Amino acid sequence: MKALRSAATNGSVLAGLVLAVMYVVYMYSSVDVLTIENATDLFNNAAPLVVAATGLTLVIVSGGYDLSIGGVVVIANVILATQSGSTTQSGLLAIAVALAAGLLVGAINGFLVAYLGVQSIAATLGTFIMCTGIALVIMPSPGGSVPDFISPGLNSTVGGVVPVAFLVVLACVLGWLILRRCRFGVHIYALGSDERSAVQSGIRRANVKFRVFVGAGFLYAAAGVMLTAQTASGDPNGSALFMVLVFAAVAIGGTRFGGGRGSAIGSILGAGVLAVLQKMLFALGVSTFYTGIVQGAVLILAVLLGQVSLGLAQRSRVSESTQLIHGTEPAGPQAAQTGGQS
């Protein structure tokens, strides 16, 4: 019962269920779903979303918001499209520069939020707008190209079996599991739950916040690299929709906006839901014009589902613990002691 309840209230489990249902529908609506090509394609679609959602989950669990995703992704994208040359070496160098740019933007966000006390939405909105401006300076119009090592390189498989994108997703999952066992990971959850209590527990608030934003910035840049592998070119304007989908993935994954609860595993599954949804709709012959409508509806339904199951679980918990509360009622002995007065 207890295990069932904790499963029902766990956003990751719900997102996993939604993902499984969709995948089954997708499987029956199309032939040769279960091929390596198809799986690779799916992971390629999901990978940028997965990586960025992992970063955003970091920030949201710690109690902040981050709107700089779109900015960092587009900067990484235009850096690769203009600077990566045509060899593997120059490609690697450009990737390093792109990741460094992500770290830098994250550090700026972190400094503003952690040390200057700027509200995270305001600070990251500012850096987002600046980043899109910088992207236009680097690359005024869509175009550019990347070496084969990036595209199709990052979109292909290792040894014809394991998609590179799958390894990237796996790295995110493992990374998160390790983080949960780190001191830093516990501090993030503590801070997101109650800043005042966290500080009174000896946690260094500014330090933790700063590191969260730096880590997130790095992941957004990595997401930008994976996205560029798909488009094989640069587009200084193509970031807003991507950012919205990242937030959607986090929401579907059951992470609480406001901090303290949630997990990147849920967000990763949420990203999977969005990716499979696209495939499923295509396989069902639904025009791509309708994709957005369905994506939005799925987001709302998933969050609603999470809320309902949480409410049910809480109700059963309350009725179970009523006795407990009454046993320790603060007024109990006192009222008896002074009874008969009123």
Partner 1 sequence: MTPVLELNGLTKRYGATTALQSVSFEVAKGSTHAIIGENGAGKSTLIRILSGLETPDVGTMSLGGSRYRPKSLGDSRRTGVSTAFQDLSLLPNLTVAENLLLPRLGGGRLIRRRANRDAAAVLLSEHGLDHIAPTQEVATLPLADKQKVEIVRAVSHQPRLLLLDEPSAALPDVEWLYHLLAKIRSDELTVLYISHRLTEIRDLCQAATVLRNGEVIDTVQVASVDDAEVFAMMGGGAKEGHGAGARTSRGLRDTPAISALNLHGRSIADVTFTLHRGEILGVAALEGQGQAETFRILAGAARPSSGQVEVDGEQVGLRSSAVALQHGISFVAEERKTEGIFPGLSTLSNVTIGSLDKVGAGGLLAGPKEHSSTRRWAKEVDLNVRYLRMDIDALSGGNQQKAILARSLMRGSKYLLLYDPSRGVDVGTKSTIYDLMERFVADGEGAILWYSTDLAELTGVCDRILCFYRGAVVAEVTGEGSTVNTLLAAITGHSNDARESQVRS
Q: Given the rule CB under 8 A, which residues bind partner 1?
A: 178, 181-184, 186-187, 189-190, 192-194, 196-204, 260-261, 317, 321, 324-325, 328-335, 337-338, 340-342
Amino acid identity, residue 267?
S
CA distances from residue 146 to 61, 84, 301 in whole angstroms, order as listed: 35, 6, 39
Minimum Å gap between C-beta 164 and partner 1 is 28
Whole-number Å distance between alpha carbons of 109 and 67: 10
| C-beta of 287 vs 337, nearer to partner 1 | 337
We find the least distance from the C-beta atom of residue 109 to partner 1, in angstroms, to be: 23
Nearer to partner 1 by Cβ, of 103 and 199: the residue is 199
Name the nearest CA neighbour of 56 among 45, 66, 68, 70.
66
* Least distance in angstroms from the C-beta of 307 to partner 1: 18
Of the two residues 67 and 198, which places its CB atom closer to partner 1 in the complex?
Answer: 198
- Token readout for 134 is 């910088």
Q: How far is the CB of 199 from partner 1 (least distance, A)?
A: 7
Q: What is the spatial distance between Cα 280 and Cα 234, in angstroms, rounded to a whole number?
A: 28
Least separation in angstroms between CB 165 and partner 1: 28
Please identify, using beta-carbon distances, which residue of 158 and 182 lies nearer to partner 1: 182
Closest separation in Å from C-beta 205 to partner 1: 10
Q: Cα 51 to the chain's mean position, in Å?
A: 7
- Give the residue with the Cβ less far from partner 1, 236 or 254: 254
Nearer to partner 1, 215 or 260 (CB): 260
Q: In the complex, what is the shortest distance from the CB of residue 334 to partner 1, in angstroms, rounded to a whole number?
A: 5
Closest to partner 1 by CB, 34 or 331: 331
Residue 143, strand partner residues: 234
| Dist. CA 82–CA 87, nearest whole Å | 13
Contact between 166 and 253 under an 8 Å Cβ cutoff? The reply is no
**Least gap, CB of 123 to partner 1 (angstroms):** 24
Closer by beta carbon to partner 1, 159 or else 330:
330
DSSP reduced 3-state for 143: strand
Sign of the four-CA dihedral 255, 171, 59, 250: negative
Three-point CA angle 68, 71, 77, nearest 5°: 140
CB 41 within 8 A of CB 35: no
Neighbours of 330 (CB within 10 A): 7
